[in-house]
Amino acid sequence: MDANELTTIYTLDDEGKAEIIKNALQAAGIRCELDGEHQAGFTGMMQIGVMVRAVDADRAAALLAEHEEMDD
């Protein structure tokens, strides 16, 4: 896999939460894109993929796991 190829590290069905995750990753210096965002009218029905470069995938997943632990 190419280090710059985008890979999905997380999926969810809440566009608002997806944007928060995207902003948090970008604030940490990780380029992030959302796959399936802007599906107006389909919140809760369609999956949104959080995508980062393969080279950043482990770090991004660790950041997400850390934030989820803090939410519990």
Question: Distance between CA atoms of 51 and 9, rounded to whole angstroms?
Answer: 6
Residue 4 in tokens: 């710059």
- Architecture of the domain delimited by 6-71: 2-Layer Sandwich (3.30)
Question: Distance between CA atoms of 66 and 63, rounded to whole angstroms?
Answer: 5
pTM over 0.85: no
- Report pLDDT for 26: 97
Q: What is the pLDDT along the chain (72 residues), one digit of tens a residue?
A: 798 999 999 999 888 999 999 999 999 999 999 997 655 445 556 889 999 999 999 999 999 998 877 665
Please report, for the chain, the start and end positions of each structural domain, with discontinuous segments joined by +. Answer: 6-71
Dihedrals phi, psi of 50, to nearest 5 degrees: -90, 115
- Report pLDDT for 40: 47
Other C-beta atoms closer than 10 Å to the C-beta of 21 total: 22
